[in-house]
Chains A and B, each alone.
Chain A
Amino acid sequence: MDLKMDLEERLRAETWGKPSSVNDLPQRVPPDRQTQFPNFASHKNLQKREDQDPSISNYGMRIEPSFSEFNRPSECQPPLPSNPISQDRGVQMNDILQLGKTQEWDPKAMLNNLSFLEQKIHQLQELVHAIVGRRGPVLGRPDELVAQQQQLITADLTSIIIQLISTAGSLLPSVKNSLSSASTPPIRQLGQLGGILNNSGSGIGLDSNLVLPSQGGSKVPDQSNQVDPMDQSAIDNLEDHESKDDEDGDEGENLPPGSFEILQLEKEEILAPHTHFCTICGKGFKRDANLRMHMRGHGDEYKTPAALAKPHKEAGSEMMLIKRYSCPYAGCKRNKDHKKFQPLKTILCVKNHYKRTHCDKSYTCSRCNTKKFSVIADLKTHEKHCGKDKWLCSCGTTFSRKDKLFGHITLFQGHTPAIPFDENKGGLSLQGEHNEDTNKVGNVSFSFGSSTPSSGGVQNIMEDVKGNVDDPSSFFSPLSFEASNFGGFNEFTRSAFDDSEGAFSFLLQASCNYTQKNGGQSSSNNLE
């Protein structure tokens, strides 16, 4: 450790003094904490970049600073696994290259790498120690934790192997050249690397050769985590994501005819529920990853990282034609015989397209019982929103958002917003009550006069009033209608805009309650 720190100090002094505080940070963190549990999240982010150079595949945490350099076009790629030291070294080498000196292997760098490897192995050792130490208390735990730890170790080991190989490879000038040119496609590099490995005749067999091209050793635990059967939500997410892959996604693509290879799956193949089958027990799987996880149950040989790793696409695929798919349904626009043939991009697109377009819609939404789907993912997507589409057009289309409905109505002549059913019902029921009110009103105004043996003067006048009430003509004297020009009156009766809703609402309420009571009869009785 001391040695390494010294080395770093020295190196920094030698070079441009470039390393920023960003570079420093990861170095100062104790190395065991950096590597013990690789951070999957950051790995995922980094993987794209890792693709560009398989040799820089490990030690995710440490790589970070070097990536900032990586993006600079003027910069040479470090020839060696990128820890901060090697990066510094890369800069150095860049200097050398610029000076036009012939390239020789740099013993200093080699020493760096070796000491790093040593350190790495040491950490791994500690980790295994810790696991052994924890064995006792952990016994009760489920196997998956152990499996995870195992995977961690395998991942670390793999990375060490890779580093070792690349260190060995750095001895060969051809590797240096290929690595220092940033524009080299990853696959060619791989091929070269593979060749070198074979040439050098190192003890590492084909196995590790397969591991190398996979997107970094760290990918292995990462991926196994993704397809972990316990992590159901991850799989769900995956499915959702896939269901969005519409077959129309490639609409804008304009591949010249002949520049791609057209594949056509048969109907049975498309509709088959499983595409990956276990060679041992015959169980079918939708995903290869699931199959691989399944295979672990068939023996230890399937538990190696190599077996668990995603099978790499055949080398040299670059040279191959791009694959596009055709729908087997004759006459379909997606069928290769169609005049305006539009190919489908992936197998998943083929499946979804075929089911959606040429199959019965067998999945019915359990909530609305009207919407049908042929792709189950579509149903699931629908069910998430079913019932929430409260904005309804007269044409029957529903919308989850009001502005979408209004956009639709703006667009189409004659379409109109539809009123929710419950409100209509409310309006009708109100009407009934009002009619009842009318009857009551009639009854009361006539019953009142006769049933009021009230005191003296009031009584007499009441008789008068009653007379008036009973005689409709006195109400409807033509005079009542003469007043059509009394414009000013309106303003006086009600203060121009008394905004009290209360008045109205309490009235409505009262009139609704009113039907249950005995109305005017009782009130006039109370008067006595």
Chain B
Amino acid sequence: MTTITISPSLFSRTMKRHKPAVAPAPAPEGPALFDLLSEEIVFMILDFLDEDPLDRKAFSLVCRSFLALESRHRKSLRPLRAEHLPTALARYPGAAALDLSLCPRVTDASLAVVAAARGDALRSLDLSRSRFFTAAGLMGLASRCRGLLELDLSNATEMRDSAAAAVAEFKNLEKLRLARCKSVTDIGVGCIAVGCRKLRLLSLKWCLGVGDLGVGLVAVKCKEIRSLDLSYLPISNKCLPSIMKLQYLEELVLEGCFGIDDECPVILKDGCKSLKVLDMSSCQNITHVGSSSITNGAGCLQHLTLAYGSPVTFALAASLKRLSMLESLKLDGCMVTTSGLKAIGNCCLSLTGLSLSKCSGVTDDGLSFLVTKHKRLKRLDITCCRKITDVSIAHITSLCAGLTSLRMESCSHVPKEAFVLIGQRCHALEELDLTDNEVDDEGLKSIARCSKLSILKLGICLNITDEGLSHIGKSCSKLVELDLYRSAGITGLGIQEVARGCPSLETVNVSYCNDITDASLMSLSKCKRLKTLEIRGCPLITSLGLAAIAVHCRQLSKLDIKKCCNIDDAGMIPLAHFSQNLRQINLSYTSVTDVGLLSLASISCLQSMTILHLKGLTPSGLAAALLACGGLTKVKLQASFKVVLPQPLFEHLEARGCLFHWRNKVLQAELDPKCWKLLLEDVMH
């Protein structure tokens, strides 16, 4: 291995250069070199090609043997159409993990194809967004794929107990997700509990038909369970004793279980030594008394979430003292007292993560004291703690130098000088959320020193301009996500600087930055990895800018050009031609017409479209486009079209797996950003 050192990036670049050539001529020594490598070694190299999915494609296009190698190497498939399953499964014989969540229609026939092609070799199957399959299809799958270990059936809202009984036939299943299977009852879960004895992970989130009996039986029968998600189930204290007897239980989510009250923690007291993660968010009926006594039993607890629960008082916080292993604590949305914060400071020894998002009652006093005790803090979320000022920020920055993530959206009393401190002291920051703050160019200049920054959110920061952003662009080369939503001080220059300095940008949001022009988009097109672009409400952007993005950013998958009224069909045609990975587009309020929309139909990945208030769109054009886009799963349309177009058309599209969302919004004039913020503040106060 040491003798052959091929950098993956170099490798992929080489391959890419070959790509335009129709039939890549074999390099003189290429095949010979690769013949020396055993298949295992090539597979190891291929393992490094995870970063960019196009790299693998490039590799497989080199020659026949590479194609075969890559086909054998592929372990997981995520097809867009179930119709192509036979071909895909034949081409990738080693793919044991199958994700069908992107297929608009997964019928029993599709499942039969999978069963026939993979049989016992199938390990993982994701049907989390699939529809149209039935219990019979699952039963057929179960009879042939006995090796299945992981199954995701989330969102199968029509799935009934008979389907659950079919799931129970997968005897070796270890992970099962049934989130939002609302029609499954205790009986179905009972079948699963009896059938799938090896379950290690089970998610029953939002299975509203499942109660104490079903959950109790799962706890009795499936002794191997490590992770159990019971969020929003109508369960009560009754099923908890048996859950607590699960020997290996590590993660328990009881979010929004209103039936559980203060009795529960008493039960927890003598249970579950293995528990590491406990989430009791939104359990309305657990008061601070109950929360205090929870912590008696679970000594190994590492992550505790008590969000949207009882007030964090001194008593509750003091009870955390017993949790010597606690690493992260989430108290989002709770009433927090200063004494409570101080008690947390005194109790928990080794917190690395703390979330106080939307906690009312967080004061400078409490927070400052807390951080003096928790100097190892890495992640801190103080979103919407509106009482804190520069005092807190000074303490946080000076004491927690190791901070990697700081979220402080809407800390409106923090003055702009405080943000300079962040840049001066917290050099390890990777994620910084300053949305809706007073930060200005000076602050950004300082923050630019955080060279590891990968996520930066500066939405609704009205004090920043291109100058500040340029500093970021110059030094934060690792930036992946940049949010400048409604930061109206930004024009073209700042964006250009960022685009130049941050080549790995994947997500950019410049919505409602009115002064952004085509020039900015052209510079952004240098970011080859761009996947998500939101440029809502930028009236200066034309089709020209969009074309630049389309041509250069081949990985673009989400595009929002709502209210870019100067973008028309001319922008759509290059998009249709080049952006073959586009999955989701919002075209509302643009000048696109029938022609543009129809051209988009050639993007085979396209799944979701929002088409509101397109002046140039005729009903027949829309119908043609909808029919031509075979993979659509979700379309948002104006309600007026519902009447104009024939009902059978919609029925046909729905049978293909497309959902329609009808909107009846009136056209609204766009507001000036500053005015918009004032309006927002009015609403808040």
Residue numbers of A with Cβ under 8 A of B are 391, 402-403, 406, 409-410, 414-417, 419, 423-424, 426-428, 430-431, 434-435, 437-438, 440-441, 444-445, 448, 452, 454-455, 457-458, 461-462, 464-466, 468-469, 472, 474-486, 488-490, 492-494, 497, 499, 501, 503-505, 507-508, 510-511, 513-514, 517-520, 522-524, 526-527
Contact mask for chain B residues 173-198; partner A; CB cutoff 8 A; 1 contact, 0 none: 00000001010001110110011000
Which of A428, A441, A476, A499 makes the CB contact (< 8 A) with B655? Answer: A441
- In the complex, what residues of B have CB within 8 A of residue A522's CB? 646, 648
Contact mask for chain B residues 472-488; partner A; CB cutoff 8 A; 1 contact, 0 none: 00000000000000000
Shortest distance between the CB of A174 and any CB in chain B (Å): 65
A445 to B624, CA, bound (A): 11
- Selecting from B29-37, B71-79, B372-380, B543-551, the interface stretch reads B71-79
Judge if B129 is at the interface, Cβ distance under 8 Å: yes
Judge if B113 is at the interface, Cβ distance under 8 Å: no
8 A Cβ contacts from B114-146 to A: 129, 131-137
- In the complex, what residues of A have CB within 8 A of residue B54's CB? 482
Do A476 and B78 touch across chains, with their CB atoms under 8 A apart? no
Do A434 and B107 touch across chains, with their CB atoms under 8 A apart? yes
Residue on B nearest A518 in the bound complex, by CB: B648
26 pairs, A vs B, C-beta closer than 8 Å: A402-B213, A406-B214, A406-B217, A409-B190, A415-B194, A416-B190, A423-B162, A426-B162, A431-B137, A435-B109, A440-B652, A441-B105, A445-B656, A454-B624, A464-B602, A466-B628, A475-B84, A480-B79, A480-B605, A492-B584, A501-B182, A519-B648, A519-B655, A523-B648, A524-B627, A527-B623
- In the complex, what residues of A have CB within 8 A of residue B190's CB? 406, 409, 416-417
A438 to B85, CA, bound (A): 15
Please tell me the number of chain B residues within 8 Å of chain A, measured between CB atoms. 94
Q: With A403-B213, A409-B194, A434-B132 known to touch, is A514 a contact of B651 (CB < 8 Å)?
A: yes
Which of A415, A416, A458 makes the CB contact (< 8 A) with B621? Answer: A458
- In the complex, what residues of A have CB within 8 A of residue B263's CB? none
A117 to B652, CA, bound (A): 97
A437 to B106, CA, bound (A): 12
Shortest distance between the CB of B213 and any CB in chain A (Å): 4
Judge if B99 is at the interface, Cβ distance under 8 Å: yes
Do A489 and B595 touch across chains, with their CB atoms under 8 A apart? no
- In the complex, what residues of A have CB within 8 A of residue B255's CB? none
Do A469 and B648 touch across chains, with their CB atoms under 8 A apart? no
Shortest distance between the CB of A361 and any CB in chain B (Å): 31
Q: With A416-B168, A427-B162 known to touch, is A517 a contact of B651 (CB < 8 Å)?
A: yes
Do A424 and B88 touch across chains, with their CB atoms under 8 A apart? no
A526 to B651, CA, bound (A): 14
Do A462 and B624 touch across chains, with their CB atoms under 8 A apart? yes
Q: With A417-B191, A431-B137, A481-B78 known to touch, is A497 a contact of B180 (CB < 8 Å)?
A: yes
A402 to B161, CA, bound (A): 15
Judge if B233 is at the interface, Cβ distance under 8 Å: no
Most B CB within 10 A of own CB, among A448, A482, A514, A526:
A482
Residue on A nearest B648 in the bound complex, by CB: A523
A79 to B510, CA, bound (A): 106
A461 to B629, CA, bound (A): 13
Residue on B nearest A442 in the bound complex, by CB: B83
- In the complex, what residues of A have CB within 8 A of residue B431's CB? none
Most A CB within 10 A of own CB, among B507, B584, B654:
B654
Do B83 and A475 touch across chains, with their CB atoms under 8 A apart? yes
- In the complex, what residues of B have CB within 8 A of residue A430's CB? 134
Contact mask for chain B residues 143-175; partner A; CB cutoff 8 A; 1 contact, 0 none: 000000000000001101111010010000000
Contact mask for chain B residues 586-597; partner A; CB cutoff 8 A; 1 contact, 0 none: 000000001100
Most A CB within 10 A of own CB, among B77, B87, B621:
B621
Most A CB within 10 A of own CB, among B220, B628, B650:
B628
Which of B101, B583, B601 makes the CB contact (< 8 A) with A465? Answer: B601
Do B162 and A483 touch across chains, with their CB atoms under 8 A apart? no
Q: With A427-B163, A475-B604, A481-B79 known to touch, is A441 a contact of B624 (CB < 8 Å)?
A: no
Apart from the given pairs A427-B134, A454-B624, A476-B84, 13 other A-B contacts in the complex at a CB distance below 8 Å: A423-B161, A427-B135, A428-B136, A431-B137, A448-B627, A454-B620, A461-B601, A462-B628, A483-B557, A484-B76, A492-B583, A519-B652, A526-B648
- In the complex, what residues of B have CB within 8 A of residue A483's CB? 53, 78, 80, 557, 581, 605
- In the complex, what residues of B have CB within 8 A of residue A526's CB? 645-646, 648-649
Q: With A403-B213, A427-B163, A510-B654 known to touch, is A527 a contact of B630 (CB < 8 Å)?
A: no
Do A482 and B630 touch across chains, with their CB atoms under 8 A apart? no
A465 to B602, CA, bound (A): 6
- In the complex, what residues of A have CB within 8 A of residue B627's CB? 444-445, 448, 520, 523-524
- In the complex, what residues of B have CB within 8 A of residue A497's CB? 180, 206
Do B157 and A468 touch across chains, with their CB atoms under 8 A apart? no
- In the complex, what residues of B have CB within 8 A of residue A499's CB? 180, 206
A481 to B99, CA, bound (A): 11
Residue on A nearest B620 in the bound complex, by CB: A527
Do B108 and A435 touch across chains, with their CB atoms under 8 A apart? yes
Residue on A nearest B61 in the bound complex, by CB: A478
Which of B101, B594, B630 makes the CB contact (< 8 A) with A445? Answer: B630
Judge if B216 is at the interface, Cβ distance under 8 Å: yes
- In the complex, what residues of B have CB within 8 A of residue A402's CB? 186, 213
Q: With A475-B604, A482-B53, A508-B158 known to touch, is A458 a contact of B652 (CB < 8 Å)?
A: no
Residue on A nearest B157 in the bound complex, by CB: A504
- In the complex, what residues of B have CB within 8 A of residue A527's CB? 620, 623-624, 646, 649
Judge if B633 is at the interface, Cβ distance under 8 Å: yes
Do A419 and B651 touch across chains, with their CB atoms under 8 A apart? no
8 A Cβ contacts from B56-108 to A: 56-57, 60, 76-81, 83-84, 87-88, 99, 101, 105, 107-108
A414 to B507, CA, bound (A): 52
Do B107 and A480 touch across chains, with their CB atoms under 8 A apart? no
List 3 A-B pairs, minimum CB-CB distance, nearest first.
Answer: A523-B649, A465-B628, A427-B135
- In the complex, what residues of B have CB within 8 A of residue A524's CB? 627
Do A438 and B105 touch across chains, with their CB atoms under 8 A apart? yes
Do B624 and A452 touch across chains, with their CB atoms under 8 A apart? yes
Residue on B nearest A449 in the bound complex, by CB: B628
Judge if B528 is at the interface, Cβ distance under 8 Å: no
Judge if B558 is at the interface, Cβ distance under 8 Å: yes
Which of B81, B136, B602, B650 makes the CB contact (< 8 A) with A431? Answer: B136
Shortest distance between the CB of B427 and any CB in chain A (Å): 27
A312 to B87, CA, bound (A): 93
Q: With A402-B186, A514-B652 known to touch, is A416 a contact of B213 (CB < 8 Å)?
A: no
Shortest distance between the CB of A463 and any CB in chain B (Å): 11
Do B135 and A424 touch across chains, with their CB atoms under 8 A apart? yes
Contact mask for chain B residues 606-634; partner A; CB cutoff 8 A; 1 contact, 0 none: 01100000000000110110011010011
- In the complex, what residues of A have CB within 8 A of residue B133's CB? 434
Do B595 and A457 touch across chains, with their CB atoms under 8 A apart? yes
Do B598 and A462 touch across chains, with their CB atoms under 8 A apart? yes
